Structure 1
Amino acid sequence: MGILNVTPDSFSDGGMHADCDDAAAHAMRMVDEGARIIDVGGESTRPGSAEVAVEEELARTVRVVGELASRGLCVSIDTRHAEVARACVEAGASIINDVSGFRDPAMVEVARNCNAGLVVMHMRGEPKTMQDDPVYDDVVDEVKRYLADRAAELEAAGIARNRICIDPGPGFGKTPKQTNELLLNMQEFARLGYPLMAAVSRKSYIGALYGIENPLDRDEVSASQALAAVELGASIVRAHNVAMTAEALKDLRPYCFLGLGSNVALVGEAGEEREAKIAVLNEVIGNLVALPDSQLIDISSFYESEPAYFEDQDPFVNAVALIRTGIGPHDLLAYLHAIEERFGRTRTVKNGPRTCDIDILDYQCYVCDDERLTLPHPLLTERDFVVKPLLELRPGHVLANGTPVTEATVEVGRAIKLDQRF
């Protein structure tokens, strides 16, 4: 998403694209550089900024939105005013990006009466006062709950779930430290199951954390922060410097879901079997962290499950891990087999007892079926002990072959969530 501010006072590019022809030319440059969406903003919402009159915001935005839409571009209108949103949608905007999170009932009404996509952002208070004293007990949990509640209220108002995108609002009513904590935990927001935006470009927290005073000098860090956010689950990046951001995103590694299981408890006394299985999985997770060119993104809760296929054996403890990895699928399989062997995995009985089992479930954009590996995992969607933890991490996930993951297809291995997470 390329940022096009048609304002005189935006924090890094105010006044650069106020003329409609200049704005359109800059939008086309961003498209050439890789932008799929152009986000047009007619009101600066930088910390301490005053509200702009609706008439002035309309004068700045509607003509530009109409011009870009007439050229076949996907246009987003960045506004917190219902009148502006309505006029820009009528002019051809496909997305309403509301920094106030659709708190205004009039904005919800605009959303109900159109088919535009919606970006729901978190912000404490208003831009003029949002940085006065931002205090949170747990910034990740509070922002996550706010976004979940706002999205649920929009759905209750009759707006389809697939129209909603969420944005934790880096720098909006948060200190640099709070913003950094949000960005280090983007996977928590991805668990809500909505498209997730990373809007970090040139933000003041980058200046504070990296000592870069001039916003125009923050593009390189902005691009690396965008890449990190996407690896953790963001799917839309809002950027001033589209070319640099697109170049950084070339280093994005594929995601991969791994299924973990154990049902052989290495214990000295009876009654500790479940805890022993969990301990094995925790050690396995530690081994996953050590994989080369890989990052552990998230781990589901632990689930206790009934044995599947070969039923005369002890219950399993299962989990699903999500990683980003530069290791190809077949080489990754070899690494995982080495970890299994480290924990004494044997394969004397098909679907039989095992101290440790690691399955590649789904590898981004990769489908194969050969003598060594079939992807996505052919039995994934029928296994409750895989489906439940996977959907905990990514609700509504669709496999690389286009198959949706849903509990409706489950047939075996009934699983119950345990009160423990990694």
Structure 2
Amino acid sequence: MIWHCGRFDFDTATPLVMGILNVTPDSFSDGGVYLDAEAAVAHGLEMIEQGAAIIDVGGESTRPGSDPVDPEEEWRRIAPVVQALAERDLCVSVDTRHAEVAQRALQVGASIINDVSGFRDPAMVEVARHSGCGCVVMHMQGEPKTMQEDPVYQDVVTEVRDYLAERAAELEAAGIDRSRICIDPGPGFGKTPKQTIELMRNLHELVRLGYPVMVAASRKSYVGYAYHVDEPHERDVASAAEALLACELGACVVRTHNVPLTVAALKDLRPLVLLGLGSNVALVAEPGEETEAKIAQINLAVGQLCALPDTQIIDMASFYESEPAYYEDQDVFVNTVVSLRCGLPPKELLGYLHGIENSLGRVREVENGPRTLDIDILDYQMYVGSTPELTLPHPRVCERDFVVKPLLEILPGYELADGTPVASVPEDERVGKAHRL
């Protein structure tokens, strides 16, 4: 996915680091440190040298209980910093809830509006609509002054996901291109630590919306709660660990105070791997229960995937029933797609997958013929090539309806490691027509 931010285009296949630059007297962890414009600009340049791709400049603290800042005062604080950094051809994000501040920042060269109020203000939507800037849409229940008084959710993951989907859709309806939108679940904004942890451990649900997802965990109170670190300045190691975990779940923009520590942590990010699983031979099934038996066999395989070394399952699509492809004289299949983070090299992973197939009675007699279980490596991030044993990406991914539909369910707009969009083959030209069970 490419995130378009004014004159900057970011490939989100590799996580982007956004350095936080608070030009405020009262931010929760660094208030007053960078009130001087020269010091702020110097710190912004330092963060770029340390590996940040974007500098996020804010002139209003939105910590819990904070009072609003007059837009004129907010602009007075950030104007020289935004302009100085933008004049150096850097990507500058302005962290503001005020349309007039965002407008001024864009006029002096900012490329992103990072709005903690989620573009609720129609005036902010208009500012974004008349520019080509990137837009970060954040979820916040209530307002900073009162948001932590009693946040209540029936299902925090579903409610935040649906809110962000609705706000992003409204931006698109206003004429803002989808490729400009990034979503942020707003950890700690109108959420208890426990609610935030539940949300952050289920970020893959937001990834399914098909927008770049931001992780802004840096020094947040939930990090202190989860890792038992009271002092915000001492939460950087834990914050970097949270950033890595979020990126493994699919986040691709990391907003952080400590750039070098975060960059170092992200070096441990494991490649994303997509597997296609299918079954059309039910070993044990009562009449009329063949579909359930095939699903059970796939679930057994998924259970074994959970035991692979240096591997974590991230997401799994629904089950799809599909027509047989290539070799048509056989029973219908049940298929799904699983995403993993995996540290095993592709050929070593393939060996483990063959072992799982064999353990579930896979017999290799007819090419594309009946099988109790089939596991294909569809794509392995950063690996493109072909050997007699394995070709990556799988050469038939895009022509198989039973692969394309479940894959795009969990990763909308996905492109293979060689740059091919998964949806490149029209549905009516694909083989193995599939429908969700």
**Normalised TM-score (structure 2):** 0.95
Partners in 2 of 1:72 and 1:366 — Cα distance? 33
Aligned to 2:297: 280
Partners in 2 of 1:113 and 1:41 — Cα distance? 22
Partners in 1 of 2:382 and 2:80 — Cα distance? 40
Aligned to 2:383: 366
Secondary structure in 2 matching 1:85: helix
Partners in 1 of 2:225 and 2:188 — Cα distance? 11
- 1:336 maps to which of 353, 356, 363: 353
Aligned to 1:290: 307
User: Is this contact kept in 2: 1:387–1:407, CA < 8 A?
Assistant: no
User: Is this contact kept in 1: 2:274–2:337, CA < 8 A?
Assistant: yes
Partners in 2 of 1:156 and 1:146 — Cα distance? 15
Could you say what the CA RMSD is over the residues aligned between the two structures, in angstroms? 0.8
Aligned to 2:187: 170
- Are 2:251 and 1:231 equivalent residues in the alignment? no
Aligned to 1:4: 21
Partners in 2 of 1:91 and 1:49 — Cα distance? 28
- 1:101 maps to which of 118, 121, 131: 118
Partners in 1 of 2:285 and 2:207 — Cα distance? 40
Q: CA deviation at 1:346?
A: 1.2
Secondary structure in 2 matching 1:195: coil
Partners in 1 of 2:35 and 2:422 — Cα distance? 46
Deviates more, 1:262-271 or 1:335-344: 262-271
Secondary structure in 1 matching 2:319: strand
- Are 2:74 and 1:60 equivalent residues in the alignment? no
- Are 2:423 and 1:400 equivalent residues in the alignment? no
Superposed, 1:32-47 pairs within 5 Å as 32-47=49-64
Secondary structure in 2 matching 1:406: helix
Aligned to 1:388: 405
- Are 2:171 and 1:154 equivalent residues in the alignment? yes
Aligned to 2:262: 245
Partners in 2 of 1:235 and 1:206 — Cα distance? 19
Partners in 2 of 1:234 and 1:382 — Cα distance? 28
Deviations along 1:308-336, one digit per CA (max 9) or x if unpaired, are 01111100000000000000111111110
Secondary structure in 1 matching 2:256: coil
Q: Which amino acid aligns with 2:41?
A: A
- Are 2:435 and 1:416 equivalent residues in the alignment? yes
Aligned to 2:372: 355
Q: Which amino acid aligns with 2:225?
A: A
Q: CA deviation at 1:209?
A: 2.5
- Are 2:31 and 1:14 equivalent residues in the alignment? yes
Secondary structure in 2 matching 1:238: strand
Aligned to 1:84: 101
User: Is this contact kept in 2: 1:54–1:83, CA < 8 A?
Assistant: yes
Partners in 2 of 1:268 and 1:4 — Cα distance? 61
Partners in 1 of 2:125 and 2:285 — Cα distance? 60
> How many residues align structurally?
418
Deviates more, 1:145-154 or 1:401-410: 401-410
- 1:313 maps to which of 330, 349, 355: 330
Deviations along 1:56-81, one digit per CA (max 9) or x if unpaired, are 00101121111001111110000010
Aligned to 2:156: 139
Aligned to 1:266: 283
Partners in 1 of 2:139 and 2:292 — Cα distance? 39
Deviations along 1:7-58, one digit per CA (max 9) or x if unpaired, are 0000000011111110111011111111000000000000000100000001
Secondary structure in 2 matching 1:39: strand
User: Is this contact kept in 2: 1:384–1:407, CA < 8 A?
Assistant: no
Secondary structure in 1 matching 2:137: strand
Give ranges in structure 1 of 5+ residues lacking alignment: none
Q: CA deviation at 1:365?
A: 1.3
Partners in 2 of 1:54 and 1:268 — Cα distance? 68
Partners in 2 of 1:92 and 1:297 — Cα distance? 38
Secondary structure in 1 matching 2:57: strand
Q: Which amino acid aligns with 2:432?
A: G
- 2:273 maps to which of 227, 243, 256: 256
Aligned to 1:186: 203
Q: Which amino acid aligns with 2:436?
A: K
User: Is this contact kept in 2: 1:306–1:315, CA < 8 A?
Assistant: yes
- Are 2:304 and 1:304 equivalent residues in the alignment? no
User: Is this contact kept in 2: 1:381–1:409, CA < 8 A?
Assistant: no
Aligned to 1:115: 132
Partners in 2 of 1:405 and 1:44 — Cα distance? 42
User: Is this contact kept in 2: 1:95–1:118, CA < 8 A?
Assistant: yes
User: Is this contact kept in 1: 2:285–2:293, CA < 8 A?
Assistant: no
Q: CA deviation at 1:208?
A: 2.2
User: Is this contact kept in 1: 2:277–2:376, CA < 8 A?
Assistant: yes
Q: CA deviation at 1:407?
A: 6.6
- Percent identity between matched residues is 67
Secondary structure in 2 matching 1:301: coil
Q: CA deviation at 1:211?
A: 2.3
Runs (4 or more) in structure 1 with deviation over 6 Å come to none
Q: Which amino acid aligns with 1:179?
A: T
Q: CA deviation at 1:85?
A: 0.4
Give ranges in structure 2 of 5+ residues lacking alignment: 1-17
Q: Which amino acid aligns with 2:233?
A: L
Secondary structure in 1 matching 2:26: coil
Question: Are residues 97 and 305 of structure 1, via their aligned partners in 2, closer, same or farther at CA, if it must alter by over 3 Å?
Answer: same
Partners in 1 of 2:207 and 2:399 — Cα distance? 24
**Normalised TM-score (structure 1):** 0.98
